[in-house]
Amino acid sequence: MPPAMRPKVRGDLAAVELDGEAVVFDESDGSLHHLNSTATIVFSFCDGGSTVKEMSSEIAQAFETDAAQVEREVRKLLRSFRESGLLDGNGGSGRG
């Protein structure tokens, strides 16, 4: 069984959060990404220290909601982050 994925945001991205939403700038290609409040929460957990299950569980507890549903949504967001090149290491696209 492969090790659990521990998503990590690329270290060369610049992110600014305002009113619970983040804007992420990728200088390598000049792209700008606007994250809504939900995506911003997940993005903030992507430090390489938590597995998808751990971050999903923590978010579900904080919002008193179903952990399985949260995990499905977290996985969708992580797929989007990966496709956008925002993650590195074993959670990302190999960039960075």
Segment holding 6, helix H or strand E: none
Q: For the domain that residue 81 is a member of, what is the CATH number? A: 1.10.10.1150
Strand order in the sheet with 31-35: 14-18, 21-26, 31-35
| 92 domain residue, yes or no | no
Non-local CB neighbours of 73 within 8 Å, separated by 6+ positions? 38
**DSSP H stretches of helix in 24-91:** 37-45, 52-63, 67-83
Question: Total domain count for the chain?
Answer: 1
| 2 domain residue, yes or no | no
| 15 domain residue, yes or no | yes
| 94 domain residue, yes or no | no
| 66 domain residue, yes or no | yes
| 27 domain residue, yes or no | yes
| 43 domain residue, yes or no | yes
Is the CB of residue 58 less than 8 Å from the CB of residue 46? no
Domain that holds residue 75: 8-87
Interval 16-54: pLDDT, tens? 999 999 999 999 999 999 999 999 999 999 999 999 999
| 33 domain residue, yes or no | yes
Q: Is the pTM of this model over 0.75?
A: yes
- Distance of alpha carbon 75 from alpha carbon 10, whole angstroms: 18
Interval 62-89: pLDDT, tens? 999 999 999 999 999 999 999 999 998 5
